Chains A and B, each alone.
Chain A
Amino acid sequence: MNRLLPLFGFLLLVALFGFGIWWNTGHDQREVPSPLIGKNAPDFSLPYLDDPSRTLRKADLLGKPYLINVFASWCVACAEEHPVLMAEGRQLGIPVIGYDYKDDPADAKAWLAQHGNPYDRVIADREGRTAIDFGVYGAPESFLVDAKGVIRYKRIGPFTPELIEQELKPRIAELQREAR
């Protein structure tokens, strides 16, 4: 029995490290959990990208669910996500708001002209001040907001067709059921 003790100790360590590896491959370590899920989306008032004299406020969007997609022309992963949004965005059944993050408006407009515009509306946050309220720390990031203005889901990093099927669409369906 006593002889086997070191072996048990070893196996215990193997189990511990194995758990560590499994745990870390299971989720992205760099993902910062959003404390805003389940809370009211921060108030915002941001100018339209194509017409800075008009602003979009949170209050304007109350009443039905919508998706905010944070993007920028300088963001590599956004270019990766873009075709997915082009293909799927219109079929989500809710407005998709483009949130142009810390970008030169001219660059953003050129980028959308070149790659296509999957958004119902595009707002611009050049300073990134409102983005701090949203807890944005990179792009792309997406927020699903319900009819009452509560953030229900956040995706950090690009959407893929699989993620839209498995994570986004069921949640949108849920929000639409609630609204009825």
Chain B
Amino acid sequence: MARAMRTLLCALLFAVIGTAHAQAIDPLPFKDHAEEVRFQKLTAQLRCLVCQNENLADSNAELARDLRHEVFELMQQGKSDEEIKQYLVARYSKFVLYDPPLDRGTLLLWFGPALILVAGALAVGITVRRRSRAASAAKTAAEPGDDW
């Protein structure tokens, strides 16, 4: 009995997790599956301006819905993904892109962590070298005494 309950609870839990990942539902008239996939992929790369920690595909905010329709409309007009992104960047700045483009303003964002890692590695390297040198110096200094 207890086991059955546990199984049921697990199943429920997974069901909940499953829905949490579901995308906001829009009855958009996609002409085929490929178009829908492209749409979902594209809106997942764009940030919802209202909630800001959600992408356009997942957000239930009204503006996100409007922008999804806008993206769909632009797709119907034959615009490329890049053109659609540019369209939104022109209105909402680069902030709408989840993947920030590499340019002067984002250099630190892209390479900052690597720089910190390199600095840390250098610090460790220097410390280790200095210590081993000090240790070998101490060893040679101590040698006459305990060599025997």
A interface, CB within 8 angstroms of B: 2, 5, 30, 32-36, 102, 127-129, 132-135, 137-138
Cβ of B138 within 8 Å of any chain A Cβ, yes or no, is no
Contact between chains at A128 and B91 (CB < 8 Å): no
Contact between chains at A35 and B90 (CB < 8 Å): yes
Contact between chains at A30 and B52 (CB < 8 Å): yes
Q: How far is the CA of A36 from the CA of B88 in the complex (A)?
A: 12
Main secondary structure of the interface of B (DSSP, over half): helix
Listed residue (A2, A129, A132) with the most chain B CB atoms within 10 angstroms of its CB: A132
Q: Which residues of B from 43 to 79 have beta carbons under 8 Å from A?
A: 49-50, 52, 62-63, 66-67, 70
- Given the known interface contacts A32-B49, A137-B50, A138-B50, the answer about A128 and B93 at a Cβ–Cβ threshold of 8 Å is no
Number of A-B residue pairs with CB-CB distance less than 8 Å in the complex they form: 38
Contact between chains at A32 and B95 (CB < 8 Å): yes
Contact between chains at B67 and A33 (CB < 8 Å): no
Contact between chains at A137 and B63 (CB < 8 Å): yes
B interface, CB within 8 angstroms of A: 49-50, 52, 62-63, 66-67, 70, 89-93, 95, 127, 130
Q: How far is the CA of A138 from the CA of B91 in the complex (A)?
A: 14
Residues of B within 8 A of A36 (CB): 91
Contact between chains at B70 and A132 (CB < 8 Å): yes
Q: Shortest beta-carbon distance, A1 to chain B, in Å?
A: 10
Residues of B within 8 A of A138 (CB): 49-50, 63
Residues of B within 8 A of A102 (CB): 62
Which residue of chain B lies nearest to A16 when distances are taken between CB atoms in the complex?
B116
Q: How far is the CA of A27 from the CA of B107 in the complex (A)?
A: 21
Q: How far is the CA of A126 from the CA of B49 in the complex (A)?
A: 19
Residues of B within 8 A of A133 (CB): 91
List of 7 A-B pairs having minimum Cβ-Cβ separation, nearest first: A137-B49, A135-B91, A35-B93, A32-B95, A33-B93, A135-B92, A128-B66
Q: How far is the CA of A138 from the CA of B64 in the complex (A)?
A: 11
> What are 24 A-B pairs with beta-carbon distances under 8 A?
A2-B130, A5-B127, A32-B49, A32-B92, A32-B95, A33-B95, A34-B93, A35-B89, A35-B91, A35-B92, A35-B93, A36-B91, A128-B63, A128-B66, A129-B66, A132-B66, A132-B70, A133-B91, A134-B91, A135-B91, A135-B92, A137-B50, A137-B63, A138-B63
- Given the known interface contacts A30-B52, A32-B49, the answer about A137 and B92 at a Cβ–Cβ threshold of 8 Å is yes
Q: How far is the CA of A30 from the CA of B47 in the complex (A)?
A: 12
Residues of B within 8 A of A127 (CB): 66
Residues of A within 8 A of B130 (CB): 2
Q: How far is the CA of A129 from the CA of B67 in the complex (A)?
A: 9
